[in-house]
Structure 1
Amino acid sequence: MSARLAPFLQFTGAEPCQAPDTDPDWWTSDDTNDRAAAQLACLRCPNREACLAWAIDHPTDAGDAIWAATTRNRCFKLRREFTTTAPEEPK
């Protein structure tokens, strides 16, 4: 993980997870259809990049919820990709 952690999102109200016509439980539901609906809603979010950065940097707080159309397992894989050390330069 990077030394700098992404800050929590500043919601503008334009995010699908904040819309009055969406069920906030979709993002944390155990139901496959609810989670799929959350992921589809996230695809049109203007803050998706910031949301994903926060979820990757804060795995404990993000938990099993959908963040930026991404599951916990996908965030884990992305976190692992971002934290690998670069090979040393040849001498």
Structure 2
Amino acid sequence: MVAGGSEGTGPATARRLRQAAAQVVTVARTAPEKDDALSVQGDLGTAVGMATAAAEVTARVGAPDVLVHDVGGSDSPARGFAALDDALTTPDHT
């Protein structure tokens, strides 16, 4: 599974892994331009988004053997997604 698989180094990483005969599922906030059974749209910046994407990936191909975290930078607190809650990940649109 390649997280951040729609732009930049994400699709390049997925392509290289596929060239090496790996079955690769990409996950990204942006929907793929073409219908692709091995691309999942999901926001890995929220607990709900992560759970939804994980369920979708598992339903399509089973549990991933490898996760390539190729998502952009963050100013989130230490401990990664485990430290996040909706207050940290939901933009304030007031």
Same fold (TM over 0.5): no
Richer in helix (by share): 1
Relative to the length of structure 2, the TM-score reads 0.30
Relative to the length of structure 1, the TM-score reads 0.31
